């Protein structure tokens, strides 16, 4: 597999890759009815948690199981490891139920991240759906911290309903800045929602950016990514300028268990972030 990004740091290697380390849950905040953001403190001897935007960790809850979760915090703040987890099943529910003071097993960071250092000088269009904002949040932090190195930055975020919007405070903060354009939309308006209504793809046509020199970073449900890619192609954005983050069943996270395969690729180590040219087939070949 051709590796698309040069900035993905190979995670700490050697020894038994299955051994996770207990991190302290310092703070938990509610994002939505079923989604929580956890702030974890790495063990003192680790001296912080260094990662690339878009990378993920394997999170282990004692006796229950282990799941892949993207790192959702600011890469410039390695003293805190942040994860945003939606409770959907056994393990994620157990994680969502953790109280400050308890421990969570962590191993990582794994995988290739967003190509933030490869796309300098370009307009950056970020399109996220639902919990898909979590892996993109570190990228937004990074881009804003290096604001001068990029052209326009546009963030389009879609949630099912206003109650499903995650990282609200960040969205509000970013929206108040003049150097990033933020567009938030919901599929279905409820309550006193005054904002945009409609799926993210309906807004792509109206975005102002340079399609010939841009990079699009996309994360959300697979169906949303498929339509987003179609929308971007309609805007003449080339496939090699589009990056998507894939989700597959993962047991090891390091290329040993076979679960995450998509054709020739292991999503855990060749992805989860792919240049579309390397993952095109997944939208065409069903059940690959």
Ligand X SMILES: Cc1cc2nc3c(=O)[nH]c(=O)nc-3n(C[C@H](O)[C@H](O)[C@H](O)COP(=O)(O)OP(=O)(O)OC[C@H]3O[C@@H](n4cnc5c(N)ncnc54)[C@H](O)[C@@H]3O)c2cc1C
Q: Which two tokens stand for residue 264?
A: 């020739």
Residue in 119, 217, 260, 276 binding ligand FES, rule: CB under 6 A: 260
142 sits near ligand FES (criterion: CB under 6 A): no
Site size toward ligand SF4 (CB under 6 A) is: 2
263 sits near ligand SF4 (criterion: CB under 6 A): no
Q: Smallest distance from the beta carbon of 214 to ligand FES, in angstroms?
A: 30
Query: Among all chains, which residue has been given the structure tokens 């995988």?
Result: 111
Query: ∠ CA 107-113-119 to the nearest 5 degrees?
Result: 160
- The C-alpha atoms of residue 192 and residue 239 are separated, in whole angstroms, by 39
Nearer to ligand SF4 by C-beta: 196 or 261? 261
DSSP three-state, residue 111: coil
160 sits near ligand X (criterion: CB under 6 A): no
Residue nearest ligand FES, CB atom distance: 268
Backbone angles phi, psi at 109, to 5 degrees: -80, 150
68 sits near ligand X (criterion: CB under 6 A): yes
Which one of ligand SF4, ligand FES, ligand X, none interacts with residue 257, CB within 5 to 8 A by kind?
ligand FES
Buried b (16+ CB within 10 A) or exposed e, 167-180: beebbeebeeeeeb
Binding site for ligand X (CB under 6 A): 56, 65, 67-70, 72, 84-86, 88-93, 131, 134-135, 247-250, 272
């Amino acid at each position: 597999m051709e590796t698309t990004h040069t900035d993905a740091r190979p995670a700490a290697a050697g020894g038994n890759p299955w051994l996770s380390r207990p991190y302290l849950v310092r703070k938990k905040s509610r994002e939505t009815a079923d989604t929580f953001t956890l702030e974890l403190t790495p063990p003192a001897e680790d001296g912080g948690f260094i990662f690339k935007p878009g990378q993920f960790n394997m999170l282990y809850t004692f006796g229950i199981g282990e799941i892949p979760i993207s790192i959702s915090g600011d890469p410039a703040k390695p003293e805190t490891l942040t994860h945003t987890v939606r409770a959907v099943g056994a393990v994620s529910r157990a994680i969502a139920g953790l109280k400050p003071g308890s421990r969570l097993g962590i191993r990582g960071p794994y995988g290739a991240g967003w190509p933030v250092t490869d796309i300098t000088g370009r307009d950056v269009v970020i399109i996220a759906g639902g919990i898909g904002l979590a892996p993109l949040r570190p990228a937004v932090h990074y881009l804003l911290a290096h604001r001068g190195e990029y052209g326009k930055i546009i963030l389009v975020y879609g949630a099912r309903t206003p109650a499903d919007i995650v990282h609200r405070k960040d969205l509000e903060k970013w929206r108040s800045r003049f150097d990033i354009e933020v567009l938030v939309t919901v599929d279905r308006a409820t309550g006193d929602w005054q904002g945009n209504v409609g799926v993210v793809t309906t807004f792509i046509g109206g975005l102002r950016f340079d399609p010939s020199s841009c990079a699009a970073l996309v994360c959300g449900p697979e169906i949303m990514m498929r339509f987003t890619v179609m929308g971007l192609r309609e805007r003449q954005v080339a496939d090699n300028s589009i990056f998507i983050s894939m989700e597959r069943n993962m047991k090891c996270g390091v290329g040993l268990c076979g679960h995450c395969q998509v054709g020739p690729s292991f999503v855990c180590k060749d992805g989860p972030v792919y240049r579309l040219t390397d993952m095109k087939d997944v939208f065409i070949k069903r059940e690959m």
